[in-house]
Amino acid sequence: MKPHLHCVEGGVGKHLQFTSLFKKIIEKYKMKLAINSAYPEIFTNCTEVADSKYRCDEPLFSNNYNYFSKYDKIFFHDPYKSNFLKGGTSVVKNWADLYEIEVDDIRPCFEINTKREKILLPYIQKINNFVLLQFTGGQAALTNTYDYNNHGRNYKYGQELIDNLREQFPSFLFFVFGHSNEKEEFIGETKFNDENGFPLFQTREDVMILSKYCKFFITIDSALHHMGSNQHFNKKGIVLWGTTEPERYGYKENINLQSEYPNCVEIPVKQIMDEINKI
């Protein structure tokens, strides 16, 4: 029997959310997943995935027919092209409806690169207590229409928050995750090098590993939000919401703070600091 092919679009966070469906999809179809997506490396270490390839979905090129013909069914169940657009439901729950399955825990369920984890673990053990932070993100690749302000997602009080965190947790380190083209350098954020002076914990894959060991995380609704919420890690964080909503994209296990301003993440630092004691 030929395998099925599952096509995934969207950003890193959406790809991570797709992992919450893996178990139920396998139970339904009795086979591992083959995935076609923009971020195939996210699924490479997942034991439920047999094959993960970079997106190949242009039907006009004849050489693609050979690729697609090797699969029995090709699923393109995208919640962003469904009734999810009407609002009122979780993106994961809607995704599950498209597959006609039920998912009990909507948090991501990805696996990390264990070989890379073994390399990083001695450094992580030296660091001990640390917090993961993300203040910018939620967009696709850099384009001519790239919105550097991105008020609906970006949190503009990152420096003030780090200052308060350093005062309350003087023995902690603070790693700020974000694309180099959009994040500023913060006073007090941690830069960590290996014994040869090469920077560590700069890549998405390394931060996915750090999410397993962090004390907690504070993030906007972007990639780190979904990394830290992995079912396997059992971590808890504070998520800062602006134009998006926790009921649609978030998880009840976190502390979700919704901005009262509909088009920006306008959340006082004091409010965030008051919530940290609840983690």
Q: Which residues contact 94 (CB under 8 A, 6 or more apart)?
A: 79, 82, 83, 84
Pairing of strands 237-241, 199-200: unpaired
Q: CA-CA distances (angstroms) from residue 215 to 5, 223, 261?
A: 37, 18, 29
Judge whether 107 lies within some domain.
no
Domain boundary among 64, 99, 134: 99
Domain boundary among 45, 74, 99: 99
Task: Please state, in angstroms and rounded to a whole number, the distance separating the CA atoms of residues 2 and 4.
Answer: 7
Domain boundary among 99, 124, 154: 99
Q: Are 268 and 154 part of one and the same domain?
A: yes
Going across the sheet that includes 33-37, the strands are 49-54, 33-37, 5-8, 74-75
Q: Length of the chain in residues, anyone? A: 279
Q: Are 138 and 167 part of one and the same domain?
A: yes
Query: Under a CB-based contact definition with an 8 Å cutoff, are residues 137 and 249 in contact?
Result: no
* Residue pLDDT, tens place only, 217-239: 999 999 999 999 999 999 999 99
Q: Are 93 and 33 part of one and the same domain?
A: yes
pTM, two decimals, is 0.92
Domain count, the chain: 2
Judge whether 109 lies within some domain.
no
Q: Are 209 and 240 part of one and the same domain?
A: yes
Q: Are 189 and 89 part of one and the same domain?
A: no
* Residue pLDDT, tens place only, 54-90: 976 665 556 677 888 899 999 999 999 999 999 989 9
Judge whether 106 lies within some domain.
no
Q: CA-CA distances (angstroms) from residue 271 to 63, 121, 161, 274, 276?
A: 56, 33, 10, 5, 9
* Residue pLDDT, tens place only, 36-53: 999 999 999 999 999 999
Domain residues for the domain of 47 are 5-99
Judge whether 235 lies within some domain.
yes
Identity at 130, one-letter amino acid code = F
- DSSP secondary structure string for all residues of 127-167: H-SEEEEE-S----S--TT--SS-TTT--TTHHHHHHHHHH
